[in-house]
Chain A
Amino acid sequence: MSTTTDTSPTRAGAASGRPRPGGAPPGTGRKPGRRDLAASLPWIGPALLLILGVVLFPAGVMFFNSTRDISMSGVDHGSVGLDNYVEVFTFPYFWPIFVRTIVWVVVVVAATVVISLGLAQILNKAFPGRRIVRLAVIIPWAASVVMTTMVVYYGLEPYFGIINKFLVDIGLVDTPEGYGWTRNPDTAFAWSIVVAVFVSLPFTTYTILAGLSTIPGDVLEAAKMDGAGPVRTYTGVVLPQLRGALSVAVLINIINVFNSLPILKVMTGSIPGYDADTIMTLIFKYIQNQHKVDVASALSVVAFLIVIVIVAVYVKVVKPMQEV
């Protein structure tokens, strides 16, 4: 998946979608020992400290808190065993929210990949102005997701929202004041999916573009010689070659979309009830609205395990880290 050319110091293989710890030349011929460990600490120590202190330690705190009874003011009243987990799973909206979370991840990631494949085909062809189009595609990637979502939220407002006005003008909505998309949990959730796909497209498209650039020209040439049409070439030659790029893009999208908070927070946050929530927004409702850090921790642990299971299954089945 090398996209860098001669000018870049990256080795071609270094960009092939997976770390290459073995690729680094060894420091010396002898076996590394304790002295080397001590010598390494000034270099890797600070990074290690940051990872342990701000990622792994809070993870431990979260696991611990998920078995505690913590009052709204933050006082720890001792262990409650698995009561917090019982509260999570017996919450009547939990299973609908669980299913909605899966729908959220699957629909957003699938739509993102399909659309990105098309976008990458367009952006991979030569035409005047392509560079400007490519730069435009970056914008939702760099721009704050909160801000992108807010402009859509405003556009969907009844009476004065510009998207509603457009839908009325072209006749898709027949009430003159527009439709209250963001007042209804189902439509607000559907629009959230649209926004989530939109902000996921740039990264996915660019990853596929990088994959396309690694397909050797003679392979396509050979397909053409053999009389394969464009469709046959695409499904038979291009798609299999994109496997590596696609599997990395899908994995990263799964993690990002599952953990996504701002879109649903803005689009559905002011709707009462739990009919547009995912696990991630429910965690924040526990923390912010109900001040139940203990139950939020239990739910976070559940979310954490779900991510790990999804990633593990995915890595096992698709093997994105494997050389293609």
Chain B
Amino acid sequence: MAVTAPAFETIAPPAASARKRRYTEDQVPIGRVLLRMLAGFIVLAVFILPYTIMFFGSVKTKSQIRSVDPTYLPTEWHWENYITMWSTPETPLPQNLISTIVISVFATVLVLGVAMPAAYYTARFRFPGRYVFLFLVIVTQMLQPAVLTSGLFRQFVSLGLIDTWAAMIFINAAFNLSFAVWIMHSFFAGVPKEIDEAAQIDGAGRLTVLFRIQLPLVWPGIVTAIVFTFVACWNEFAASLVILSTAGNQPLSVALTKFVGQYETSWHYVFGISIVAIIPVVVLFMIIEKRLVGGLTAGSVK
């Protein structure tokens, strides 16, 4: 764990045994370790609580979950909810899932294709307008779709792209672009320039240098940018709410809000869908856990 190892070593006194005997170094009495474990356990419990409620709810029946005297745990486990939920009448959930996937995948690909060359070039070369470009990138980082929604709405109406996946792909890509540029920029800037020059002397073109030489070196930065972009697109809400009006076009985040305020909300289905939607992005985030903050702060803001 790259994030934690130095953290621990710098906080603990530099005893020779600090590295090997992580949890029982001489300075920390066992009582204190137990206290820390207790605190850690409470934190763990609080952070998984909402998702545990979600999971238990997802296997209850509608009458169980709406029972006037609810039980904390399901009395019977109805796994078939995970099948039947897809045909609930509130919203076309299979289409909403497809919509979420299509928008997130294409927006991420677009961000990658657009941000990588820009990040590489600004990290490697000087040109007039370089600072202007980097400044623009910072400015967009301060903006979020929510505050620009009315402008985006009118613009995509006049472009004839309102209520299309394309509109949301562009919007998601544009608002996640700056972050991806910053992360990749800092990774590219970290590769010694001599490596490029050596390759170029050997007759490699600029694109060859980028794809053959640089990419393997900055791969961690690229993965971080991909995951952040994908997760942000996957959960985007504000712009989709206004841009996508047809039920089948909407992503899951927007579709699920239709359940709230219903006469009889099918909460068990809401939670089933939520579990299905949350697991992949949580797994993605956990994969890049080590780089979560290094990447973030390298990306300046956001």
Of the candidates A10, A209, A255, the one whose C-beta lies within 8 Å of that of B142 is A255
Provide a sorted-by-A list of 26 A–B residue pairs whose CB atoms are within 8 angstroms: A3-B290, A10-B221, A11-B190, A18-B300, A27-B127, A37-B129, A50-B177, A51-B137, A126-B22, A133-B40, A143-B235, A143-B282, A147-B274, A148-B50, A151-B50, A151-B271, A154-B267, A162-B57, A162-B70, A213-B6, A216-B10, A217-B12, A252-B301, A259-B146, A300-B149, A321-B300
Whole-angstrom CA separation of A116 from B240 in the bound complex? 31
Contact A151 B54 (CB under 8 A): yes
Q: Does B48 reach chain A (CB closer than 8 Å)? A: yes
Q: Does A107 reach chain B (CB closer than 8 Å)? A: no
Of the candidates B10, B28, B39, B278, the one whose C-beta lies within 8 Å of that of A147 is B278
The 5 closest A-B pairs by CB, nearest first: A62-B151, A54-B174, A58-B151, A43-B121, A213-B7
Contact B11 A177 (CB under 8 A): no
**12 additional contacts (CB under 8 A) given A27-B126, A146-B256:** A53-B170, A59-B143, A119-B43, A127-B40, A138-B292, A142-B284, A162-B57, A207-B296, A213-B4, A245-B297, A269-B257, A270-B260
Contact B37 A262 (CB under 8 A): no
**Minimal beta-carbon separation of B144 from chain A (angstroms):** 4
Q: Does B171 reach chain A (CB closer than 8 Å)? A: yes
Contact A145 B151 (CB under 8 A): no
Q: Which residue of A lies closest to B111 (CB)?
A: A50
Contact A10 B298 (CB under 8 A): yes
Contact B154 A293 (CB under 8 A): yes
Tally of A interface residues using CB under 8 Å? 137
Which residues of chain A in 96-117 are interfacial with respect to chain B, using CB atoms and an 8 Å cutoff?
A: none
Whole-angstrom CA separation of A131 from B129 in the bound complex? 44
Contact A47 B220 (CB under 8 A): no
Q: Which residue of A lies closest to B100 (CB)?
A: A144
Residues of A within 8 A of B221 (CB): 9-10
Q: Does A21 reach chain B (CB closer than 8 Å)? A: yes
Of the candidates B154, B174, B231, the one whose C-beta lies within 8 Å of that of A142 is B231
A residues in contact (CB < 8 Å) with B: 1-5, 7-11, 14-21, 23-28, 32-34, 36-37, 39-40, 42-44, 46-48, 50-51, 53-63, 65, 70, 74, 119, 122-148, 150-155, 159-162, 165-166, 177, 198, 203, 206-207, 209-210, 212-213, 215-217, 220-221, 224, 245, 248, 251-252, 255-256, 259-262, 265-266, 269-270, 280, 283-284, 287-288, 293, 296-297, 300, 303-304, 307-308, 311, 321
Contact A36 B148 (CB under 8 A): no
Residues of A within 8 A of B253 (CB): 144, 146-147, 262
Q: Which residue of A lies closest to B119 (CB)?
A: A47
Contact A14 B186 (CB under 8 A): yes
Contact B48 A288 (CB under 8 A): no
**Minimal beta-carbon separation of B5 from chain A (angstroms):** 7
Q: Which residue of A lies closest to B217 (CB)?
A: A9
Whole-angstrom CA separation of A284 from B243 in the bound complex? 12
Whole-angstrom CA separation of A74 from B22 in the bound complex? 65
Q: Which residue of B lies closest to A288 (CB)?
A: B242
Contact B294 A2 (CB under 8 A): yes
Q: Does B198 reach chain A (CB closer than 8 Å)? A: no
Residues of A within 8 A of B109 (CB): none
Residues of A within 8 A of B25 (CB): 126
Whole-angstrom CA separation of A14 from B300 in the bound complex? 9
Contact with A along B17-29 (1 / 0, CB 8 A): 0000011010010
Residues of B within 8 A of A8 (CB): 2, 190, 220, 291, 294
In terms of DSSP, what is the predominant structure of the interface of chain B?
Answer: helix
Q: Does B13 reach chain A (CB closer than 8 Å)? A: yes
Of the candidates A24, A60, A307, the one whose C-beta lies within 8 Å of that of B123 is A24
Q: Which residue of B lies closest to A135 (CB)?
A: B286
Say whether, besides A58-B155, A139-B47, A160 and B143 are in contact (CB < 8 Å): no
**Minimal beta-carbon separation of A109 from chain B (angstroms):** 14
Say whether, besides A50-B170, A262-B238, A212 and B11 are in contact (CB < 8 Å): yes
Q: Which residue of A lies closest to B275 (CB)?
A: A147
**Minimal beta-carbon separation of B286 from chain A (angstroms):** 5
Residues of B within 8 A of A262 (CB): 237-238, 253, 257
**Minimal beta-carbon separation of A32 from chain B (angstroms):** 5
Contact B293 A43 (CB under 8 A): no
Residues of B within 8 A of A53 (CB): 170, 174
**Minimal beta-carbon separation of A48 from chain B (angstroms):** 7
Contact A209 B7 (CB under 8 A): yes
**Minimal beta-carbon separation of A100 from chain B (angstroms):** 17
Which residues of chain B in 120-142 are interfacial with respect to chain A, using CB atoms and an 8 Å cutoff?
A: 120-131, 133-134, 136-138, 140, 142
**Minimal beta-carbon separation of A284 from chain B (angstroms):** 7
Q: Which residue of B lies closest to A320 (CB)?
A: B301
Whole-angstrom CA separation of A165 from B218 in the bound complex? 51
Whole-angstrom CA separation of A8 from B218 in the bound complex? 8
Residues of B within 8 A of A311 (CB): 142
Contact A43 B118 (CB under 8 A): yes
Residues of B within 8 A of A25 (CB): 124, 193
Contact B5 A5 (CB under 8 A): yes
Residues of A within 8 A of B151 (CB): 57-63, 65, 297, 300
**Minimal beta-carbon separation of B113 from chain A (angstroms):** 7
Residue among A11, A39, A160, A213 with most chain B CB within 10 A: A213
Contact B11 A51 (CB under 8 A): no
Of the candidates B3, B193, B278, B300, the one whose C-beta lies within 8 Å of that of A209 is B3
Whole-angstrom CA separation of A147 from B214 in the bound complex? 39
Q: Does B66 reach chain A (CB closer than 8 Å)? A: yes
